[in-house]
Structure 1
């Protein structure tokens, strides 16, 4: 499914993006846009509205705007719906009012949803441009987000406290960086934020006892993660000797690398098509075909065999 989404999403998206980028270049050079360059330099978001109103026919412009609004609403709705779920389930019910009725939970969700929308709108008024907040999200928030979400799968000792303190340390460091580091340097501080979050993860993990051993032993046969799971793996194999641990780390890591190249070609091909760069276009298509064949052999075909074996092992587990 992920591969299908990439094909359906990336090619039309970058056909449109590259087309508008070329129109923007024309706008600046030939269409009198140079008179507005001082304004546009400080607000690149003015380019797209100008191009839509000037170059896109009325019917197609309406369809394009409807698509852009739909894309915005899908992202916006998922965020607004996710926020109350996290806050109500993980904070309100756990620490504030564990006996809350269903009606109270629903009302709390409504209040939190409205609060998220209002706060987000207020923050939006103080942003200079989209690139500013996007760089902060990618360079700062992701740096404080990755460590906890990687360790939770690959380290048996990691627990809820480690996740909480890792995320907290990373987010707080990202907020501090927002007000102390120039925007141009945000991406360069990614390793620093990752390190701060990693320290928070490790310190938080060892500040509390490990997850219940029975929970870990029951978890391992169902997921069989990579990484530092040796103590749990040994105990799980004693209880379930018929299961086979995951020994395909090198193959899976290779598939990830090939998959990244495959997905990048889906982005580059429509760009080369729009600019009519024949060498780059055919080279990218050839690379796409080669990586597709590799993934078919090293990833897609083994899935059937491994799925059948896994299902048999899980039947015995039950």
Structure 2
């Protein structure tokens, strides 16, 4: 999804894409709620389901009718395969383009790049299978991915937008430090609660970002200026913001303030949207009415603080 955001022509298209993506996501939660409700119903009328990870297989095999059952299994397999192949391809691309061709063999031929891509793809799959040998429960690996690996990647992903001094080395050091911290936690401290794992990986990642940034040269100013003109982020961009005329800078500041205010509408709007869709499946019409009213109110606030300004993108080249 990130690639689609990056490929958008302007702020308006990117904003509309995010709105459409959130709307599509809202259909995921009614599906999950429906599976959970059918699992609870089956557990009440039949033998209880002691393992939560068996709810979906039991619902598919015991409750869903023929036809729907096959359609759902095909859809789940397609979703799993698309995620799997995109992850493998992305990992191979990182190795081939960002490491092998960039540093190890800049003059590599197309054939050599293809060979490296195939080898790295095989290695990624083998490494994944190796780690799978030690995973007993889906929730175990999911918690580690989101709270440890995810935490290790979170700081560099955010800091690159809001801190002008951060460079590629800071990003790389932060990612590597966070990933290493996540692996160490998994191998030596698997009993840690998820909130502690998150803090540990995020803290190590932050240290990597700071060290990698300050121990290396800053990014050339012309690239920072070009980036700021296109994205106009808020945060610690003081030395770069000085290139803008005062009247344009005032418009950028106003845009930043609107974005910050809109965030306080957008986050609850998304949560309420998901809950509203779930209430339809649960047939809790009283809760549905309250959530729908909240959704309408948040939508109005989001319209005035964000949506209606999508077409008024600040032009930093204005004089």
TM range (shorter): 0.7 to 0.9
SS at 1:305's partner residue?
A: coil
Map of 2:289 onto structure 1: 282
Q: 1: CA distance between counterparts of 2:191 and 2:290? A: 36
Q: Indicate conservation of the 8 Å contact 2:225/2:240, yes or no.
A: yes
The match for 1:214 among 222, 240, 253 is 222
> 1:6, 1:266 within 8 Å by CA — same for their partners in 2?
no
CA contact (8 A) 1:162 1:200 kept: yes
Q: 1:299 corresponds to which residue?
A: 306
1:246 matched to 2:252? The reply is yes
Preserved CA contact (<8 Å) 1:151 1:158: yes
How far off its partner does 1:241 sit?
Answer: 7.2
Alignment of 1:122 with 2:127, yes or no, is no
Written as runs of structure 1 = structure 2, the 5 A alignment for 1:168-247 is 168-183=176-191, 185-234=193-242, 236-237=243-244, 243-244=248-249, 246-247=252-253
Match of 2:312, SS?
A: helix
* 1:269 Cα offset (Å): 1.4
Over aligned residues, Cα RMSD in angstroms? 2.0
Secondary structure of 1:246's match? helix
Residues 233 and 183 of structure 1: CA distance in aligned 2, closer, same or farther (over 3 Å): same
Give the TM-score of the pair, scaled to structure 1.
0.88
- 1:181 is displaced (CA, Å) by 2.8
For 1:184 and 1:223, locate their aligned partners in 2 and report how far apart those are by CA, in whole Å: 39
Q: Within the alignment, does 1:16 sit opposite 2:31 as a pair?
A: yes
> Which of 43, 58, 72 in structure 2 is aligned with 1:64?
72
Deviation at 1:184, TM superposition (A): 6.1
Q: CA deviation at 1:293?
A: 1.4
Instruction: Confirm or deny that 1:4 pairs with 2:10.
Output: no
Unaligned runs of 5+ in 1: none
Q: CA deviation at 1:148?
A: 1.0
Contact 1:154 1:227 (C-alpha < 8 Å) held by counterparts = yes
Q: CA deviation at 1:243?
A: 4.3
Residue by residue over 1:294-315, the C-alpha shift from the partner in whole angstroms, topping out at 9 and shown as x without a partner, is 1111111111122xx42xx55x
| 8 Å CA contact 2:135, 2:141 repeated in 1 | yes
Partner of 1:107 in structure 2? Answer: 115
> Whole-Å Cα distance in 2 between the matches of residues 160 and 106 of structure 1?
26
What stretches of structure 1 move > 6 A for 4+ residues in a row?
Answer: none
1:161 aligns with one of 146, 169, 172: 169
* Residues in 2 aligned to 1:271 and 1:217: alpha-carbon distance in whole angstroms: 45
- What is the DSSP-based 3-state SS (H/G/I as helix, E as strand, rest coil) of the residue aligned with 2:311? helix
1:260 maps to 267
Name which of structure 1's ranges 140-149 and 267-276 shifts more when overlaid on structure 2.
267-276
TM-score normalised to structure 2 length: 0.88
Secondary structure of the corresponding residue to residue 228 of structure 1:
coil
1:196 and 1:184 map into 2 onto residues whose CA distance is 16
Unaligned runs of 5+ in 2: 1-16
2:62 corresponds to 1:49: no
How far has the Cα of 1:183 moved from its partner? 4.6
> Which residue in 1 is equivalent to 2:9?
none
Query: Which secondary structure state, in structure 2, belongs to the residue aligned with residue 143 of structure 1?
Result: helix
CA distance in 1, matches of 2:178, 2:192: 20
What CA deviation, in whole Å up to 9, does each residue of 1:21-61 have, x standing for no partner?
11211222211x23xx5xx43xx322211111111111111
